[in-house]
Amino acid sequence: MSRRYAWVVFALSFGLLLSDYMSRQVLNAVFPMLKADWLLSDAQLGSLSGIVALAVGLLTLPLSLLADRWGRVRSLVIAATMWSLATLGCAVAASYDQMLASRLFVGIGEAAYGSVGIAVVLSVFPRALRATLSGAFIAGGAFGSVLGISIGGAVAQAYGWRWAFGVMGVFGLVLAGIYAVVVTEKRLAPRQDPAGGGAGTDERDRLRVLLPRLFSSVSVVSAYIGSGLQLFIAGALIAWLPSYFNRYYAMPTAKAGATAGLFALMIAIGMIAGGIASDRISRRAPIRKWAVAISCSVGSLVLLMTAFRLPTGPVQLLVLGLGTLMCAGTAGPGAAMVANLTPATIAATAFATLTLAQSMLGLAPGPAVTGMLADRLGLLGAFRLVPLVAIGATAAFLIGRHSYDRDVRRLTGLAPVAEPQKTEVPS
């Protein structure tokens, strides 16, 4: 496979991830409009956001198992088509119940994408780029959130909230069509074994042996838990910052969405920076990836706790920006640790398990719990409690670091070695 085609695969997979999160997060930009039109509580608004992550969490693992066997590219195209059509369903919803049902189908469509998409990307690049590519790919979620919130807010203010959903749905359908034409299982075959529906008994037996290794070590379980808990904070911020700026800074929908989009961009930059820092620091000692994750978790705790105790104004925004920069910097190191601690044969399933943890521990409860707290304490009071989740994430990463060397030896039968230095994609 040529280097150019590998980057085309990355670009199109990244584009679908943008569409995924644009469709998911456009809702957050129109929270104030939905609250006014349908007289919804913050808990109901949070449920509209959280149900997508809940569906992703519950269905990612089984759908990724199917994708590993049935064909990853085919699965990605079907998934993108479903979430795009469901987003169009949100545009015509006439009640909270109809919107909730449409959002559920958005989640079903998105369920297999994150883990399968990143497995496709990592399969066409060398091992030394794993943390960088993982961080960059996962950051596509935050970049998609930026676009979904910013563009969605602007479109909603100009044409109404229904048009905001419509624009996102059409964009996803167009991109899914392009992906289906350009990326094929056959062209990926030189670097990955196509997963086909005709897998034989030997393949099924091999999977039965390998699947328990998804949870066979303390360090990989710690990576799942730490990554999931840390994304509780990022998910809450992305979902509720537009409403925070609307309520506490008196910003209109478009400006609140654009401002929140800048903070979502900081989250994306932090994801990429965390992955790059992890790769560079751990070239000769892979265990240092844990130090990057721990530093990001502790830093986000201190900065966000401080930010939401400051008065509204430039100083609060500055400290909040630094906190959002660090709150998801664990994504790249966490994904790289999962890749290092599980067999390559079940890569998509391993990332599905990571996505399950991120959804069930972070992205699903983050917006929903914040909404419930906001109904009782106000949104500012809720935001003052959310960063405390980083304490649990830090503890998980510390436990994972302590067990890492022993667990790598169990997996490979060898002492941990430095990451390979070659970074070019083979032609």
In which band, very low, low, confident or very high, does the pLDDT at 87 lie, cut at 50, 70 and 90? very high
Q: Note the pLDDT tens digit of each residue in 120-163.
A: 887 777 766 766 777 677 667 778 888 999 999 999 999 999 99
Q: What is the DSSP letter of 30?
A: T
Q: Distance between CA atoms of 220 and 218, rounded to whole angstroms? A: 6
Q: Note the pLDDT tens digit of each residue in 354-400.
A: 878 988 999 889 999 999 999 999 999 999 999 999 999 999 999 99
Confidence check: pLDDT of 66 > 50: yes
Best CA proximity match to 58, nearest among 371, 358, 372: 358
More confident residue, 167 or 142: 167
Average pLDDT of 237-246?
95
**Helix locations, 111-217, DSSP H:** 113-123, 130-159, 161-182, 185-188, 201-210
- In the chain, how many domains are there? 1
Which residue type occupies 198?
G
In which band, very low, low, confident or very high, does the pLDDT at 404 lie, cut at 50, 70 and 90? confident
pLDDT recorded at residue 425: 33
Left if phi > 0, otherwise alpha if psi is -120 to 50, otherwise beta: which for 160?
Answer: left
Entry field: residues in the chain: 427
Best CA proximity match to 294, nearest among 402, 407, 393: 393
* Residue 76 covered by a domain: yes
Average pLDDT of 58-76?
82
Q: Distance between CA atoms of 30 and 130, rounded to whole angstroms? A: 36
* Residue 280 covered by a domain: yes
Which residue type occupies 353?
T
* Residue 419 covered by a domain: no
pLDDT recorded at residue 6: 83
Confidence check: pLDDT of 206 > 60: no
Confidence check: pLDDT of 47 > 80: yes
Q: Note the pLDDT tens digit of each residue in 210-238.
A: 667 778 789 999 999 999 999 999 999 99
Which residue type occupies 175?
L
**Helix locations, 309-388, DSSP H:** 314-327, 331-341, 347-358, 365-377, 379-385
* Residue 356 covered by a domain: yes
* Residue 40 covered by a domain: yes
pLDDT recorded at residue 197: 42
Domain containing 226: what range?
3-186+212-411
pLDDT recorded at residue 295: 95
Mean pLDDT for all residues in the chain: 86
Q: Which two tokens stand for residue 238?
A: 């992305």
Tell me the pTM.
0.80
* Residue 194 covered by a domain: no
Confidence check: pLDDT of 318 > 80: yes
* Residue 111 covered by a domain: yes
* Residue 156 covered by a domain: yes
In which band, very low, low, confident or very high, does the pLDDT at 309 lie, cut at 50, 70 and 90? very high
Q: Distance between CA atoms of 366 and 352, rounded to whole angstroms? A: 19
**CATH for 392:** 1.20.1250.20
Q: Which two tokens stand for residue 318?
A: 């500055």
Residue 223: partners with Cβ closer than 8 Å, 6 or more residues away: 334, 337, 338, 341, 354, 396, 397, 400
